[in-house]
Chain A
């Protein structure tokens, strides 16, 4: 058995590699990355004998196909996904390789779902958005819905800290999802809401506590109403730590500083260049915790009474994202995911098994 992790030398990808190598010791795990030196350093630091390094530029179609054809499951961690999902997913389908990704962009998710017929014709399972949010959030949405007789609303929230991420793709993703409109599902219909609006105080697990979250463009409202039948509302709100960094994001959006890809790339590269300075400028009073979190509230009725299930989790962004992707890839490799086509976590991941696997890695789902 061979797992391939595209972008495996990155912040999220290396966590996927470490988990796969540890929990599937009989399998070979390939870190596939453009930066061979960084990949070799990561492999050495993880220090497990079943890891190999392969260099590849994901923009080179034939090179990617060759690597994918040699693997049973590929985990795609190459972001930003609004740019690379449409490049890599079709290649995995063409190669006939099982596919898992951590796609967190709503527009890329809509496009990915459109490849489902192609995946079904090639007998391929493509599990998309199998990270932290989407990923853990979708599985918790499924768990809550399964416990209710009728599900009414699913409200999902995330908080990400700038002291907890260093990848350029994360910064680009944030600017991508806080501008323009964001998809939301309200009163049985998909609607567009203004990103950065709908502010709401949300309690996350301690020590993060209460944070002010707002609408952002994310995949959960796109996929959940398709697979959790009868749900009336699915909303998604996010926020950043330290609190004041949200003001910088809003300022850059309001002044059109990130409104084109060129501008977004330039600003992201500039800001990612010195997160330590940024963290001190905006976190002088409120130093950002190096931790991220999520919360999922599922409302509905059970035995004729109103009932709400609320869960939360906190950990480093890389663990919250990389570990679910690894668990998904291992479930796929073991034949535990029967569906074919392009599918999100709520359509195919058995919640109790998944939560048990998270627990083995010391990620606790807390009742809120």
Chain B
């Protein structure tokens, strides 16, 4: 690490209230998410798991979101690409692997749900489902509960550009706007909803919809995690201050297919995707840290080896872990499990 005895010009991250440790942690978290994600793709290709859905290149903004929140008091409603986010708020790679392998020990759903369907009361991650956007009114409802209880708590909910056209998005936003609820709506706009490009998804600008609902909307470059952090932090502060919701549209680009069942060359060309792959925001952020004297190749090598070990261990663990017993799949329909039997 570069030594510096002179008074440094305030760095961008410092100006945002982020310590050096914190910002390095952010970078590490991005990389961890990335490495997990890449491993997930490999495992699917290798036939070890049935399904994987990727969030590659969206990690930096997700991590930034997570770091802007308070893991003790806030509520989190991620969507299915949010590995960066959930790792930032306390989930582990082992948890994610167990979920990927659908094993009983998976804290999200004991292997009942598809990967990417997060949930953990302990970590304040609200259980999600597959019908998209249903989590938006939930976030509003959770914010309503916080307001009713007089709690200093904010809920943050992620969804994609496709979801932003679903009725629940509009209804959830509108409700929150009317009642000035402490909720942050984050649209992770990666330009594609499976094969449907943004131009076919909407004619307007997503962040501007907030105007219609009576609160501010912002568009942010997803490749600039510090900017994402700033915007989300401000949104959180507004919410805590009782000023109501914020809509944040994070611009990025989905470099993979929608999931491992989607061949994206059906609807776009390699040439279109390549530049975005080259312009990897993790690399950009690494460079920022290096320039800030907070990172080096040495650190990089060490970190990658560390992460490799973590992921290998997690993979092995998950592979060996048992499934939930088949009969147990009848449990937890109702509070009293015995009511399940019919």
**A, B from the same assembly:** no
